[in-house]
Amino acid sequence: MAAALDLRGRVVVVTGAGSGMGRSYALEAARRGAVLALADYDPAGLAQTAGLLPAGTTVLTRVLDVSDRDAVEAFAASVDADLGGAHVVINNAGIEGAVLAAEAIPEEVHRRVMAVNFDGVRYGTLAFLPQLRARDRAALVNVSSLFGLIGTPHHSDYCASKFAVRGFTEALAAELVGTGVSVHLVHPGGVATNIARQAGSQAFAAKYLTTAPDDIARLVLDALGTRRTRIVAGHRAPSTFLGSRLLPLWVMTRLVRRDLDAVLD
């Protein structure tokens, strides 16, 4: 098996770097000696992440809405011009869904969730792919979710976006076989971040979001460039993944509903 990428002096791009998993990816990459290009929609969170980096870390920051394709392409151009191009791209930015039954989700909310969670990953991939292809070895990390493996009630918008990330990334991985770009698809489960912001999500967060984001970041960066291309990790992630693979859908949906009934409003 190929050795993991050595990040010393290599350019690592992270979207959604202002908090949660994105901040953990940034800090862990910096500890490994990477040059960083960090983007986030929240300027205050992005500045806070930059302030937490080890002394001497080279970093480029950009306030960015990943659903804006022109802005993502401009960010990629800046990384190329100012840092010499990316070696690793982690498309991590994402938002919570409406946490409502499917028929109650406003159309504009559903479209926004898809625009950020799926189109943001797609735009980031396409904008940086030429830079990655130019390297002898490079890595692309697209972050799906445990909800990109199973459908869960009151999360149809979020699940749709994360299933889309999964399908896009698996297809892209097949296209890039034989190149120097390793493609990694991450399905984190139960990670303790601030993505669950709505009042109706707090019982869910308290029960399920318990895994430290730093643990996932180390695991993902250890896998870069190796054959560990699907990364399923976090609270209850392995068992859920196994169920999604082995159980009939009618069984899985009933198990999921029974498990979530206690936290659904």
Q: Is residue 187 part of a domain?
A: yes
Q: What percent of the chain has pLDDT over 90?
A: 80
Range of the domain at 199: 11-263
Q: Is 158 a catalytic residue?
A: yes
CATH of the domain at 249: 3.40.50.720
Residue 197 falls within a domain, yes or no?
Answer: yes
How many domains does the chain divide into?
Answer: 1
CA angle 159-240-206, nearest 5°?
A: 75
Is 46 inside any structural domain? yes
In a domain, 240, yes or no: yes
In the set 41, 123, 158, 208, the catalytic residue is 158
**Predicted model pTM:** 0.91
Pairing, β 181-189 against β 88-91: unpaired
Residue 5 lies in a domain: no
Look at residue 1 and tell me if it is in a domain: no
- The per-residue pLDDT for range 187-233, each reduced to its tens digit, is 998 765 555 445 554 455 455 556 789 999 999 999 999 999 999 98
Residue 166: inside a domain: yes
Token output for 257:
């509903």
Residues 51-93 have pLDDT tens digits of 999 999 999 999 999 999 999 999 999 999 999 999 999 999 9
User: Closest Cα to residue 62, out of 51, 52, 53, 71?
Assistant: 71
Give the pLDDT confidence of 144-164 residue by residue, as tens digits.
999 999 999 999 999 999 999
In the chain, the amino acid numbered 177 is: V
Query: 192 in a domain, yes or no?
Result: yes
Query: Positive or negative, the Cα torsion across 57, 63, 66, 69?
Result: negative
